[in-house]
Chain A
Amino acid sequence: MVKFNRFTLDNGLRVIIHEDHTTPMAVLNILYNVGARDENPDQTGFAHLFEHLMFGGSVNIPHYDEPLQRVGGENNAFTSNDITNYYITLPAVNIETAFWLESDRMLSLAFSKKSLEVQRNVVIEEFKQRYLNQPYGDVWLKLRPLVYKKHPYQWATIGKEIKHIEDAKIEDVKAFFKKHYNPQNAIMVVGGDIDPEEVKKLAEKWFGPIPAGEKYVRNLPQEPEQHDERRETVTAKVPLNDVYIAFQMGARLDDSFYAAELMSDILSRGNSSRLYRNLVKEKQLFSEVHAYMSSSLDKGMFVFEGKPNEGVSIGEAETALWEEMERLKNEEVPADELTKVQNKVESTMIFSEMSLLDKAMNLASFELLGDADMLNQEPGKFTRVTANEIKDLANTIFRRDNSSTLIYLAEKN
């Protein structure tokens, strides 16, 4: 159970306070309700590039990192297709420094040309390091456009291509800031060894004067239901063949989300999971095989991924994955197996409460979904999932005409 208080400033900034006096530290986490899905199709990768620029100095503070490190703090950020999240951890006695830094960059950036130039290069190197210079690194650049034809989830957060990053201009940066980086579009969580009254005062003092800005109204093209079997095969310089089968599934707030999560756990969580047990250990068809989902705010993806052993054809590998799906479609999950994945969810949540930062990020995410208290309602939702719901869901999702199959064939020299 994660307890919290919450209030909203006049300018629309939502603030959540979570006390945790078992640590001498504090966390200040700010979630901006903007991600790669909000990008223009000709300027992809921009939300993530922008995240880098948030560290390039703000209107009153030339260097973001230096004063924070000077008071013993650390920070980082990440961008997803849905959100951009920034966090600071620092000794709780120095919490005001975090307010000072975060409020100034919400007020306005310095928009330094040098910073843009350097961070363009840094992000291009990140593009190479994580997506192009790794075996299978470009999988999401290929799989997303197969699964999504209309929705902006068709591109990865890094962007469609390096050129989009090279082309970013300072005017675009300013426009993006104005559109998305304002109090109405943000959720702040302050947690740790803090006094809630003090936090309230500091929030008013540093964030209160920031103008509300314009409200961003999201209006994204929605992805139509899929009714055609999709397939792409690529030959690449990778050592092993690799099979991906992706399905469209519901959004994060759909009722079916909890059944889907448990279904992916039944398939792929731990060494007792079905895919590992049956396909790696028993039938010895794959060296590794996984199932997971994207948990995205709009229509999501349920993905199977496996590297077949030498001598196992792509056809055999696909058949084996489909057999596991058919089993879920035709047979109810036994009670013991369902209890097992529900127990795992329960203990995972209890263990995650050991981390202050995890708690802060979770509170922010659930507040974005509608209510931070949903975090505390999660365990009950998993407990109520029935075997029948999982079976129904498997029948809804695992259809040939809802599948997108991507095959990597290892180029043999």
Chain B
Amino acid sequence: MNRKTPPASREIENINLIHPVSQALDNGCNIFYFDSGDADLVRIEWIFGNLRFDPGKPLLNVGVHTMLSDGTANLTAAQIADKIDFYGAFLQVDYGYDHSSVTLFSLNKHLQSTLPVIKDIITGSIFPERELETFIRNQRQKLQVSLQKNDFVARRAFNKALYGDTLYGLSADAADYDTLKRGDMLRHFDEMYQPSNCTIVVAGKIGQEIQDLISDSFGQWSNKSFAPDISQPQLVSAPEHFYFIEKPEALQSAIRMGKRTINRHHPDFPALQVLNTVLGGYFGSRLMANIREDKGYTYGIGSGMSSFKHSGALFIATEVGADVCKLAVAEIEKELKLLQDEPIAEEELSLVRNFLMGSLLGSLENVFSHADKFKNLYFANLGYDYYDRYVETVKTISATELQRLANEYLNFHQFYKVIVGKC
């Protein structure tokens, strides 16, 4: 038998995305249902737009959201935890850059018992003083540990440089916790957690009974007399592009570099995703092939893209041996330059096309992933045709066009650069 030649393979022609059934409640809350799967379970997300950032109270947004499960007018933090855990459910609060969400994973048979807890949390949190003290003390302790991690410090400095004093650039220190006050939190809570600022996304095995249960619970929920302010202050990037934070005893240095680019809404976004993949978006990428697999400077290096409501960014991140820090930076510069100077060979490009199509297919593992794809679109004000354009771009984008994008977006000298460690 011939083991030298790969077996025949097929290209991925298209993908099938599950579209939701939508329901608009009278109070302005929209619900989207993704019904699929055999297992009697459900994931429900309540997603809220973040309120306008106040630089004088930088921890208010994150503090309010993180403390949602710490007590309501009806339930103590302990009672909330007891109920959720008793029914084998999972409750998560996730604070994001643009939106913050409350997620419930529950078996359908227990939903009647778990759903009212969530309703209570998002309509009646009270941020008890004693819980707030505990929260602040524990967060300060955790921050001390995080600040000893070079990659954490690099990420903060990078975001701060790109986005300034905003939700995206947040880099609070221990003293900022002094500005977190219960009165502000209650006001913030009242303004943010209103049905008109809430989107509910439900995924799992959803019969009519489950739909009714959810829409009945959250239909009886009124808006306040004032609307939430979800506008954000202007993003201002720092004039200084280079930051070196020295750690004399570091064995490795964290490197993070990149710049503000475009978000998902921009027509170039899918093409830039292809270029990012070539650069550092998969195991066989140029950065990995050179800096890990050829030079052995690092355990891992990659590039990524972030897409926010008001901005997007492309960045490279790695931790490298302190002794090879300068060499690693030089190799990164070389790889960027190469993408600007030479078109990507068709053999490499076709590999990346296939890899991205496989990745897209593989990212649709279960009904939850279909809901996740929808959220990407919905919150960027895009329709399902976005994925048609994405697939088309992945399959047909030319090397010439990618070279143009490299010259527009991958200019090393325009990059913000942060190094934490020794260099």
Contacts and interface: CB of A to CB of B under 8 A. Distances in A.
Contacts of A209: 1
Interface string B99-135: 0000001110000000000000000000000010010
A356 B361 CA distance: 14
Given A125-B252, A339-B86, A239 B355 contact: no
A287 interface: yes
A270 B362 contact: no
Given A104-B3, A125-B252, A353-B39, A24 B351 contact: no
A239 B107 CA distance: 41
Contacts of A237: 148, 249
Contacts of A120: 296
Instruction: Tell me if B's interface is mostly helix, strand, loop or mixed.
Output: mixed
A284 interface: yes
Contacts, number: 221
B82 A72 contact: no
A65 B293 CA distance: 12
Nearest to B358: A72
B284 A69 contact: yes
Contact of B145 (A93, A118, A135, A350): A135
Nearest to B80: A271
A284 B134 contact: yes
B320 interface: yes
A402 interface: no
B72 interface: no
B89 A347 contact: yes
A281 B77 contact: yes
Contacts of B62: none
Contact of B137 (A96, A239, A277, A287): A287
B366 A354 contact: yes
Given A60-B3, A61-B3, A69-B284, A288 B366 contact: no
B173 to A, nearest CB: 13
B319 A133 contact: yes
B78 A272 contact: yes
B136 to A, nearest CB: 11
Interface in B292-333: 292-299, 319-321
B37 A271 contact: no
A123 B299 CA distance: 7
Contacts of A65: 283-284
B358 A350 contact: no
Contacts of B86: 272, 336, 339-340, 343
Interface string B262-304: 0000000000000000000011100000001111111100000
A119 B297 CA distance: 10
A346 B282 contact: no
Contacts of A373: none
B10 interface: yes
B9 A97 contact: yes
Given A23-B366, A93-B10, A284-B134, A128 B38 contact: no
B413 interface: no
Interface string B138-152: 100110110111100
Given A24-B361, A25-B361, A133-B250, A351 B41 contact: yes
B362 A74 contact: yes
A287 B150 CA distance: 22
A310 B362 CA distance: 46
A134 to B, nearest CB: 6
B22 interface: no
Nearest to B350: A70
B251 A132 contact: yes
Nearest to A100: B7
Given A65-B283, A122-B299, A281-B134, A350 B7 contact: no
A272 B150 contact: no
A288 B146 CA distance: 14
Interface in B152-196: none
B294 to A, nearest CB: 7
25 contacts: A65-B283, A67-B6, A70-B355, A71-B6, A72-B357, A72-B358, A90-B362, A91-B12, A96-B9, A97-B7, A104-B3, A122-B298, A135-B149, A239-B148, A240-B145, A271-B77, A271-B80, A281-B134, A309-B137, A310-B141, A340-B82, A344-B88, A346-B107, A354-B39, A354-B366
Interface of A: 22-25, 59-61, 65-67, 69-75, 89-91, 93-94, 96-97, 99-100, 103-104, 107, 117-126, 128-130, 132-136, 205, 209, 237-240, 269-273, 277, 280-281, 284, 287-288, 307, 309-310, 336, 339-340, 343-348, 350-351, 353-356
